[in-house]
Amino acid sequence: MEKSAEFSRQIQTMFGLVAPRYDFLNRLLSLGLDRHWRKVSVDFLAPSDGERFLDLATGTGDVALEIASRPAKGMHVCGLDFSLPMLLRARKKIRASQRNETIFLQAGSGEDLPFPDNSFDGLICAFGIRNFADVPRGLDEIRRVLKPGGRAVILEFSMPRRGPLGNVYRWYFDCVLPRVGRWVSGHPDAYQYLPRSVAAFPSREEFGEAMGRKGFSSIRLKAMTLGVVTIFLGIKEV
Ligand SMILES: C[S@@+](CC[C@H](N)C(=O)[O-])C[C@H]1O[C@@H](n2cnc3c(N)ncnc32)[C@H](O)[C@@H]1O
């Protein structure tokens, strides 16, 4: 328990330190594909009129902004994160895009969500859950705050299948990306942590099964960009 708390503090500090360069590095290191991955994830969420959504581990708010840009009327989107520097950046972007009537920000932990049971019609967690100290507990919390029948969409990095292109990607991800990340962010190891944490995260099949065991059904997996990222969709069983 104490080890988990210490791990969480380290992750929180790390994201706080990279927050100023986070968006720039996302665009650069993914060659702009991160925007496309988030858009497709929001397509999976399929927002409709009057629904309430949680963008879990919102960071600088890109997913919340993408949900709010959809044509559905009367939506409420809450962006939650435990990093205040990230939330401050999100707030600036939300104000600049005049979405502050739709998007609300909340500080809190993904493993202890500050919401009553059955609060949301849908939830997205993009590149967040891999960083949780206790992933099973995070899944329990996701399930708890969703309404019965609610949609959970998880977007995470995954490893592409072996083969020439997969090998080039592994070299880029393990060797090039950490160097560029360190140089641009000024953080000694945040971008070394990225490939390490992806390698330690369950495979797409294992994570899909873990969602099933946690009470999600109709699970769909979509590997994108040669399997560099995977979108998971699960419905909270009634
Ligand atoms: C890689 S960023 C992803 C941000 C955003 N979802 C995106 O698509 O760019 C991960 C975010 O998760 C947050 N985070 C990590 N673990 C968390 C936890 N246990 N509770 C709340 N936020 C967490 C970090 O502070 C960081 O902002």
Whether 56 lines ligand 1, by a CB cut-off of 6 Å, is: no
Structure tokens at 6: 């210490």
Q: Which domain holds residue 218?
A: 2-158+202-236
> Is the residue at 167 inside a domain?
no
Ligand 1 center from residue 238 Cα (angstroms) = 28
Write phi, then psi, for 108 (nearest 5 degrees). Answer: 170, 175
Predicted confidence at residue 96, as pLDDT, reads 97
pTM of the model: 0.95
* Rounded distance between C-alpha atoms, residue 129 and residue 98, angstroms: 28
> Is the residue at 187 inside a domain?
no
> Is the residue at 16 inside a domain?
yes
Predicted confidence at residue 95, as pLDDT, reads 97
Nearest in space to 202 (alpha carbons), one of 189, 211, 190, 215: 211
> Is the residue at 192 inside a domain?
no
For the chain, the domain total comes to 1
Predicted confidence at residue 218, as pLDDT, reads 96
> Is the residue at 176 inside a domain?
no
The residue with tokens 């709010």 is 68
Predicted confidence at residue 20, as pLDDT, reads 94
Pocket test for ligand 1, best of 18, 127, 157, 185 (most atoms within 8 A of CB): 127
Predicted confidence at residue 1, as pLDDT, reads 42
* C-alpha 180, offset from chain centre: 22
> Is the residue at 186 inside a domain?
no
How many C-beta neighbours within 10 Å does residue 216 have? 24
> Is the residue at 183 inside a domain?
no
Pocket test for ligand 1, best of 8, 15, 125, 154 (most atoms within 8 A of CB): 15
Predicted confidence at residue 238, as pLDDT, reads 81
Nearest in space to 37 (alpha carbons), one of 209, 193, 234, 226: 226
- Measured in residues, the chain has a length of 238
Q: What is the CATH number of the domain that holds 111?
A: 3.40.50.150
Predicted confidence at residue 77, as pLDDT, reads 98
> Average pLDDT per run of 10 along the chain, which is 238 residues long?
78 94 92 96 98 98 98 97 98 96 97 98 98 96 98 96 87 90 86 92 96 96 95 94
Predicted confidence at residue 185, as pLDDT, reads 86
Predicted confidence at residue 3, as pLDDT, reads 56
Predicted confidence at residue 36, as pLDDT, reads 97
> Is the residue at 68 inside a domain?
yes
